[in-house]
Amino acid sequence: MSSTTVAEARPKTTEESAYRRAQFANLPGGAFFEGQWQTAELTLEVRDPEDGVLLGRVCTSTSQDVERAIGHIDRHLQADEWPLRARRQALEKAVLLLGEQAERFANIIAAESSKTITEAEREVRRCIETLRLSAAASEELAGETLGFEDSMAGAGKIGWYSRQPVGIVAAITPFNDPLNLVAHKLGPALIGGNGVVLKPSTRTPLTGLAFVRLLLEAGVPSGRIAAIVSGPGVSEAVVTDPRVDLISFTGGPATAERIAAAAGAKKILSELGGNNATIVCSDADAKAAAKAIVAGAFGVAGQNCLSVQRVYVHTSLFDEVLDLVTAGTKALRIGPKLDRGTDVGPLISEAEARRVEEWVEEAKAAGATVHAGGKRHNAYYEPTVLADVPSDAKVIAEEVFGPVVSILPFIEVRDAVFAANNTEYGLQAGIFTQSIDLALTVAEKLHVGAVVINETSDVRIDSMPFGGFKKSGVGREGVRHAVREMTEPKNTIINLGDSKARWQVLGGLTDGASA
């Protein structure tokens, strides 16, 4: 089925309905705090964006619930030890449990999010890796001896530093990776010895709540973790509570600015999206580039911070690459998420699909041409390839976060680099070329957190420092790097006194022993 046709919605068979019910029959309560699953006020509905089917209900909480949750974690941190060895063992157990429950988690992700079952399975595998890396990051918590000998102020002193938890981490996560992005915050926070309050997206909370229960089963103390989804004043209560020491947020820049204004003098780590460019040089492999562009632009229906949004192609290859990308895009199959033949599922809501539709229509009105897609079907938006797009159109100037890619020509590489950098974002970028000298020169000039050579921007290895420049965020994720962000060095210094006096004491002890 081509991308110009969306698979017709059809009633679920009895077997499919029973299978879906089984995936959600054993979900935990609608929030977790004070060491208990909360089952009152289950008023927030969670629905499948594909067909609107009700999947479950979670708690509508209050700011008082947040205060109780944080207070419980704060008391636990002060009163109860959780040694590093036990933290590592809990995360190692979580790796095993998630492997055993992989199919169930993949089905929860696919049901409540935009991901196809294949994409959901891939996310579970990545989460297993993230947990494994988190357990292994216990090695990052080793300190070192302080070199006082080479300092006038250090005379007569020895010391060392160790890495200590910051305290309580607030983890605020988005809908597009409802499992692995939660793990990228909780794994490093927990191995670092912190307590965590998770606030998952209201659109995909079931995955996060199921993950919290898995961590509890693995041995994470109930006093170290809480999860609250939504309710009046909940978000503000989480970020403004003075007992929260660090906020780790993934979402949009506008929300991040509100969080920073409300939170005050707190450490904030933020990953805020991107408007990612790929540059295809004159000596590039056009077929390889086009294949990677299609894959990088339309995964998770384009709802990916690393998604390829702008492609700058040398004029000598422009027509060929545009034709190849167009053909590859038209070959994608849009359909039901649980169908393994589906390449692209719906957006997270019909409202988001309408927004993408409006942005494309605006670009068309300004002169853009549509080479594939360009149509909406309820919450689905067809994978769309645009050309002739003005530089001030929203699909170029802002983050689309939908299945739209624009192909644009360039003559001089310096112009492509300038255009790629001409955005408020700076997350990642890709470049295709056979020249290592050119690749490294361009990589140095691109003002982004990562440059991927002979690939698009859509590459993330969970162990690498992940983040960007400008409005793409503050700080870095990537397990080892997040552990460092979520811990602080603490110095211990011993004053040994005057060296002459120490020798005299030693001599006195020797004389006494001889007598």
How much is the pLDDT for 3? Answer: 47
How much is the pLDDT for 156? Answer: 86
How far is the C-alpha of 383 from the C-alpha of 156, rounded, in Å? Answer: 69
DSSP 178: T
Half-sphere exposure of 172 (CA within 13 A, CB side): 24
281 has catalytic annotation: no
Cβ-Cβ contacts under 8 Å for 195 (sequence gap 6 or more): 73, 74, 76, 77, 167, 168, 169, 189, 223, 224, 225
How much is the pLDDT for 12? Answer: 53
Instruction: Please report which helix (H) or strand (E) contains residue 426, including its range.
Output: strand 425-426
Q: pLDDT tens across 296-340, in order?
A: 999 999 999 999 999 999 999 999 999 999 999 999 999 999 999
How far is the C-alpha of 455 from the C-alpha of 230, rounded, in Å? Answer: 39
DSSP 466: B
Q: pLDDT tens across 12-26, in order?
A: 555 555 555 556 657
Per the DSSP assignment, residues forming a β-bridge with 20 are none
**Residue 265, SS3 per DSSP:** coil
Cβ-Cβ contacts under 8 Å for 14 (sequence gap 6 or more): none
Beta-carbon neighbour count of residue 317 at 10 Å? 21
Instruction: Please give the structure tokens belonging to residue 7.
Output: 């698979």
Per the DSSP assignment, residues forming a β-bridge with 277 are 310, 429
DSSP 464: S
Name the residue among 196, 304, 295 with its Cα closest to residue 250: 304
Per the DSSP assignment, residues forming a β-bridge with 162 are 490
For the whole prediction, is pTM greater than 0.85? yes
Residues of the chain with pLDDT under 70: 1-25, 498-515
How much is the pLDDT for 5? Answer: 46
271 has catalytic annotation: yes
CB 63 within 8 A of CB 232: yes
Q: Which of 112, 119, 123, 271 is catalytic?
A: 271
How much is the pLDDT for 497? Answer: 76
Phi, psi of 175 (to 5 degrees): -85, -20
Phi, psi of 268 (to 5 degrees): -125, 125
**Residue 129, SS3 per DSSP:** helix
What structural domains does the chain harbor? 25-272+474-490 (3.40.605.10), 276-465 (3.40.309.10)
Per the DSSP assignment, residues forming a β-bridge with 227 are 32, 198
CB 405 within 8 A of CB 332: no
How much is the pLDDT for 143? Answer: 85
Q: Which of 305, 352, 382, 477 is catalytic?
A: 305
CB 3 within 8 A of CB 370: no
How far is the C-alpha of 5 from the C-alpha of 377, rounded, in Å? Answer: 9
CB 436 within 8 A of CB 256: no
Name the residue among 420, 400, 507, 407 with its Cα closest to residue 470: 420
DSSP 226: E
**Per-residue 3-state assignment (H helix, E strand, C coil) for 39-66:** CCCCCEEEECCCCCCEEEEECECCHHHH
Phi, psi of 314 (to 5 degrees): -60, 145
How much is the pLDDT for 365? Answer: 97
How far is the C-alpha of 399 from the C-alpha of 422, rounded, in Å? Answer: 13
How far is the C-alpha of 283 from the C-alpha of 295, rounded, in Å? Answer: 21
